[in-house]
Amino acid sequence: GAVVSQHPSWVICKSGTSVKIECRSLDFQATTMFWYRQFPKQSLMLMATSNEGSKATYEQGVEKDKFLINHASLTLSTLTVTSAHPEDSSFYICSAVEWDYGKEQFFGPGTRLTVL
């Protein structure tokens, strides 16, 4: 149980285009989902917290207009990188929390974005 999937696992796009990344909780309902960014050989940086049916809460320094987050249901959250540029290339990881598990976060496998 407690499986989180991400799609796609990797994506290459041209500069200026938008890319959508999906995060799904497969066997539980996620009250909260988190989006992280991980640079090569570095730690995870929390980008935003999303709760189903409400606006995402972004961490300081994260552009909300560039990284659009939609938590449409209790099993799906999406991150859209708008007008992507090479500096947006990174590994994006989501996690989901089910309240019954005592706030433990379950992580997706990550999505590698490369912007040419």
Q: Which residues from 41-80 bind other proteins, rule CB under 8 A? A: 41-44, 46, 49
Q: Which of 81, 97, 113, 115 touches other proteins by CB under 8 A?
A: 97
- Give the pair of three-digit tokens for residue 86: 């090479």
Residue among 82 and 107 whose Cβ is closer to other proteins? 107
Q: How many residues bind other proteins (CB under 8 A)?
A: 20
Residue among 10 and 63 whose Cβ is closer to other proteins? 10
Q: Whose CA is closest to 41, among 113, 90, 109? A: 90
Mode of pairing for the β-strands spanning 67-73 and 32-38: unpaired
Q: Is 36 exposed, middle or buried (0-12, 13-18, 19+ CB in 10 A)?
A: buried
- In the complex, the residues that contact other proteins under the rule CB under 8 A are 4, 6, 32, 34, 41-44, 46, 49, 93, 95, 97, 103-105, 107-110
